[in-house]
Structure 1
């Protein structure tokens, strides 16, 4: 008998032993379990600006942690080695208590807390939730870098534990989101719910020929402004990667031009990777 994973809009129907589209959740013993719980593929002390967050504790550092799996299938994925990996990928075990102990130890180096990042952290929802609760108990902060593709009730339950989030808004058409295996409305809802509940910044990667028109960025920034015109937007430059390794990078002038378009609606627009 199959059961449904309710974490995101995919709602994968999984029989016993099957693993979901994200490669990080599966039906084991008649219940959906996170297969990547406490299994780390990356751990590093990063500048907060690298998340990217420009308006949240600038100049500080944050202990950044990643696992494996993702519930999208972006053709340009920059971290495909771990985002596209499953249970067989080499990992190191790290219990929530151990991670928080490391975060506290690194406070002397400017660390303010833990950032859940690199792969899509929300496919390991339970680990993020458990770590985040302990991070707050230790008097530190939680940062989340996510594609925002999560069911509303799960998102609402997690938000009180999150101090800052950067959400990827990968474009503003259903066509582009469909090509990436995603759902635009899910991401818009996640952005709207996060606004006012924690510090929020948004990133849009400009991919030539896909989401690089002035019309699309104007619509995106206008909608974001309707949520809050002070939400920082990061306009980032695409570089060849994964299934788009033969495509040219986004022209620098395109990034700057589209950032100017976004500034028609938003107060804080930043350009990245230029």
Structure 2
């Protein structure tokens, strides 16, 4: 447990958490939407600080990042928690678990230990991934600073719903990001994820403008974001607001968590997305999970 960054103390011992666009107001003894940030006697604490729930060596293409240090290994770590509640969450066991019970899972590891592990396994980069790194930003940021000092690159795999203040903190140490862009309008975000589209789009633009290597993933879910007009809007946004050189990963959905009755994405739908991306002028379209 560690005192959080980016929060404000309000009246009656309430606090405002400012790490993401949920901007939760949290009463004494309560937690935010993520389930891991708690108000204790008028101070906000990150309960998941140092609690490593996953630490693995992955091929960097698994993030997925196809155009950043290709062919290398990446040291990947996570702590529990997420500021979304996506019904198709692929890692719901670690991302969503703090919302259903008070216990914070994980094994204590220091930022120094993670950096030593990455170096020991000859990984040129570290990924903050599997859950949502915004929700363990204190832990991630300390690790990122140490990693950068040792010549390692830092990668976030994120939903892109972090606050502007959080971006200010991480951009100086951030080398690459894969952002999960779920849909072009609030319908998908509000109904299935508990968020909004505009903050994600603005953060994508800011990351691109800051020179962070950016790749975008869209998990195409039948009945949610698989309509031609939706995919066209995503492709056009990438092409016109970011750049035609930004890779777009179009990923196949498989039934999971709260969407076990939703069918697998047809290959034809993924081919349609690929065609739409080509028509929008995107240079790098990668179809995944097939």
TM-score, length-normalised on structure 1?
A: 0.96
1:262 shift after superposition: 1.3
Report the RMSD for the aligned CA atoms in angstroms: 1.1
Contact kept, 8 Å, 1:62 with 1:114, in 2: the verdict is yes
Superposed counterparts of 1:1-274, under 5 Å: 1=12, 2-86=14-98, 87-107=102-122, 111-179=123-191, 180-196=193-209, 197-226=211-240, 227-265=242-280, 266-274=282-290
Contact kept, 8 Å, 2:60 with 2:70, in 1: the verdict is yes
1:90 and 1:220 map into 2 onto residues whose CA distance is 36
Aligned to 1:263, what secondary structure does the other structure show? helix
| Deviation by residue 1:96-145 (Cα, 9 ceiling, x = unmatched) | 111111111111xxx11210000011111111111000000111111110
Q: 5+ unaligned residues in a row in structure 2: which ranges?
A: 1-11
How many pairs does the alignment contain? 271
| Deviation by residue 1:5-60 (Cα, 9 ceiling, x = unmatched) | 11122111111221111012121232222111110111100000000000001100
Contact kept, 8 Å, 1:169 with 1:203, in 2: the verdict is yes
Aligned to 2:77, what secondary structure does the other structure show? strand
TM-score, length-normalised on structure 2?
A: 0.91
1:215 and 1:19 map into 2 onto residues whose CA distance is 38
| Deviation by residue 1:203-227 (Cα, 9 ceiling, x = unmatched) | 0000001110111111111111112
Contact kept, 8 Å, 2:20 with 2:134, in 1: the verdict is no
1:222 and 1:258 map into 2 onto residues whose CA distance is 12
1:89 shift after superposition: 4.1
| Deviation by residue 1:238-264 (Cα, 9 ceiling, x = unmatched) | 100011011111011111111111121
Q: 5+ unaligned residues in a row in structure 1: which ranges?
A: none
2:142 and 2:105 map into 1 onto residues whose CA distance is 22
Tell me: CA distance 1:58–1:70, structure 2 relative to 1, closer, same or farther (3 Å). same
1:221 and 1:32 map into 2 onto residues whose CA distance is 39
Contact kept, 8 Å, 1:121 with 1:146, in 2: the verdict is yes
